[in-house]
Chains A and B, each alone.
Chain A
Amino acid sequence: MSTSVRTAPPSDRPPTARSGGRAGRRAGLAVLGGLLLAAVAASFAVGAQRIPLGEVAAGVFAPDGSEHALIIRELRLPRTLLGVAVGAALGLAGALMQALTRNPMAEPGLLGVNGGAALAVVTVIALFRTDEVLVYVWAAFAGAAGAAVLVHLIGARGRGGASPARLVLAGAAINAVFTALTAGLMLLSPRTFNGFRFWQVGSLAGRDLEVFFEVLPFLLGGTVLALALARPLNALDLGEDAGRALGARPGRTRALGGLAVVLLCGSATAAVGPIAFLGLAVPFIVRAWTGPDQRWVLPYSLLLAPVLLLGADVLGRVVAPGELETGIVTAFLGAPIFMLMVRRGGLRKL
Chain B
Amino acid sequence: MRARNLSVRWEPRTAAVCAVLGAVACGAAVFVVGTGDFAIPAADVVRVLAGQGDQATDFIVTTLRLPRAVVGLLAGLALGLSGAIFQSISRNPLGSPDLIGFTTGSATGALLQILVVGGGTVAIAASSVLGAVVTALVVYAMAFKGGGVNGLRLVLIGVGAAAMLEALNSYLITRAELRDAYEAAFWLTGSLNGRGWEQAVPLALALAVLVPAALASGRRLSMGELGDDAARALGVPVQRSRAVLVVTGVGLVAAATAAAGPVPFVALAAPQLARRLTRRTGPHLLPAGLMGAALLVCGDLVSLRLPVAVPVGVVTGVLGGLYLVWLLSSGGRKGIA
Contact = CB atoms under 8 A, between A and B. Distances in A.
A158 B314 contact: no
A109 B170 CA distance: 15
B56 interface: no
27 contacts: A105-B156, A109-B163, A154-B329, A157-B328, A157-B332, A158-B331, A166-B328, A168-B159, A169-B94, A173-B324, A174-B321, A176-B99, A176-B265, A178-B321, A179-B317, A180-B318, A184-B314, A187-B186, A193-B181, A197-B174, A198-B174, A331-B168, A332-B164, A342-B156, A342-B157, A343-B143, A347-B156
A181 to B, nearest CB: 6
Interface in A317-350: 324-325, 327-328, 331-332, 335-336, 338-339, 342-343, 347
Nearest to B268: A176
B72 interface: no
Q: Which secondary structure characterizes the binding site on chain A?
A: helix
Contact of B171 (A165, A178, A183, A325): A325
B153 A170 contact: no
B145 A343 contact: yes
A276 B161 CA distance: 12
A181 B189 CA distance: 10
Contacts of A173: 321, 324-325, 327-328
Nearest to A183: B189
Indicate the size class of the contact surface on chain A: 35 or more
Given A180-B189, A181-B318, 6 more contacts: A154-B328, A158-B333, A276-B163, A338-B160, A339-B142, A342-B160
Contacts of B170: 197, 200-201, 328
Interface string A82-121: 0000000000000000000000010001100000000000
B50 interface: no
Contacts of B153: 342-343, 347
Interface in A190-209: 190, 193-194, 197-198, 200-201
Given A193-B181, A328-B167, A166 B189 contact: no
Interface in A299-330: 324-325, 327-328
B266 to A, nearest CB: 12
A186 interface: yes
B322 interface: yes
A296 interface: no
B244 interface: no
Contact of B189 (A187, A327, A335): A187
User: In this complex, which of A160, A174, A186, A197 has the most chain B Cβ atoms within 10 angstroms of its Cβ?
Assistant: A197
B109 interface: no
Given A168-B156, A176-B321, A343-B142, A197 B173 contact: yes
A181 B161 contact: no
Contact of A180 (B313, B325, B329): B313
Interface in A132-161: 154-155, 157-160
Given A183-B313, A331-B163, A339-B142, A325 B152 contact: no
Given A169-B337, A184-B310, A332-B167, A176 B185 contact: no
Nearest to B322: A177
B311 interface: yes
A331 to B, nearest CB: 4
B142 A155 contact: no
B3 interface: no
A165 B325 contact: no
User: In this complex, which of A165, A187, A200 has the most chain B Cβ atoms within 10 angstroms of its Cβ?
Assistant: A187
Nearest to B317: A180
A189 B173 CA distance: 16
Nearest to A325: B171
Contacts of B331: 158
B67 interface: no
Contacts of B267: none
Nearest to B178: A194
Given A172-B159, A180-B313, A324 B171 contact: yes
Interface string B140-183: 00110100000011011101110110111011011000110110
10 nearest CB pairs, A to B: A180-B317, A158-B332, A177-B321, A331-B167, A335-B164, A184-B314, A165-B337, A173-B324, A176-B321, A159-B332
A94 B155 CA distance: 22
A288 interface: no
Contacts of B325: 154, 170, 173-174, 177
A172 B170 CA distance: 18
User: In this complex, which of B313, B314, B331 has the most chain A Cβ atoms within 10 angstroms of its Cβ?
Assistant: B314
A64 B157 CA distance: 52
B318 A166 contact: no
Given A157-B329, A173-B321, A276-B163, A180 B336 contact: no
A136 to B, nearest CB: 16
B320 interface: yes
Nearest to A339: B160
A277 B159 CA distance: 12
Contacts of B160: 335-336, 338-339, 342
Nearest to A200: B170
Contact of B164 (A160, A169, A331): A331
A203 to B, nearest CB: 9
A127 interface: no
Given A198-B174, A343-B142, A169 B161 contact: no
A8 interface: no
B308 interface: yes
B188 interface: yes
